[in-house]
Amino acid sequence: MSCGQPLLPERVAQVVDERKKAEKRVSDLERELATHIARDLLESHVSDPAIMNGTVIGHSHRTDDGGNPLGFLSAIASALDSRAEQHTPPLPYLFVLSSSPSVQTQTSLSTVLIVGSDEKFVKVLGESLKTKLGIKGGGKGSRWSGKFVGVWKASKEALAIAGLLKEM
């Protein structure tokens, strides 16, 4: 900082305040983006033949280098909850949301979040992901989250998730 020592506390307070405002703007934009992503997910899968017994199912993977990928996936999940409830009649659904960093190594962490309207399906799918993909995690109610260690490959992990969703 280019100020004298007497002004330093004031400048630090200003920087902290600006940082808080920037984080709030990012949070607001992420929430808005999550709403659009949830809408697109539901709309793209509602007419999909992958609907199981009237339940909309699907998987969406994102590349995310943000500091809190689970937070963003949770925002999408909350928006999915809201959009599905607004549907007349309420739309049953089961989605796997996943996120991995753009640069991956053998120790990279990818985040997985299962969200659905039926707690039983969420739990069963979570246990299947643990078994088939070695994802470590757990959940309660209509959400299950976990971490995948290693390189996330669409040809392997996404294909396995699609197969598990078809088995549901």
* Domain definitions of the chain by residue range: 5-167
The residues with which 163 forms a beta bridge, in sequence order, are: none
Residue 74 has pLDDT above 90, yes or no: yes
Confidence (pLDDT) at 84: 87
Distance separating alpha carbons of residues 83 and 81, to the nearest angstrom: 6
Q: What is the pTM of this model?
A: 0.82
The residues with which 112 forms a beta bridge, in sequence order, are: 98, 146
Residue 87 has pLDDT above 70, yes or no: yes
Confidence (pLDDT) at 114: 96
What percent of the chain is predicted at pLDDT more than 70?
Answer: 94
Sort strands 136-140 and 143-149 into parallel, antiparallel or unpaired.
antiparallel
Residue keyed to tokens 């309660």: 140
- Name the band, by pLDDT with cuts 50, 70 and 90, for residue 155: confident
- Whether the link from the prior residue into 89 is cis, omega within 30° of 0, is yes
* Cα 48 from chain centre: 21
Q: What are phi and psi of 51, to 5 degrees?
A: -75, 125
Residue 122 has pLDDT above 80, yes or no: yes
- Name the band, by pLDDT with cuts 50, 70 and 90, for residue 48: low
Give 160's Cβ-side CA count (13 Å radius).
16
Order of strands, edge to edge, in the sheet holding 143-149? 56-63, 93-100, 109-116, 143-149, 136-140
- Name the band, by pLDDT with cuts 50, 70 and 90, for residue 152: very high
Has domain 5-167 been given CATH number 1.10.10.10? Answer: no
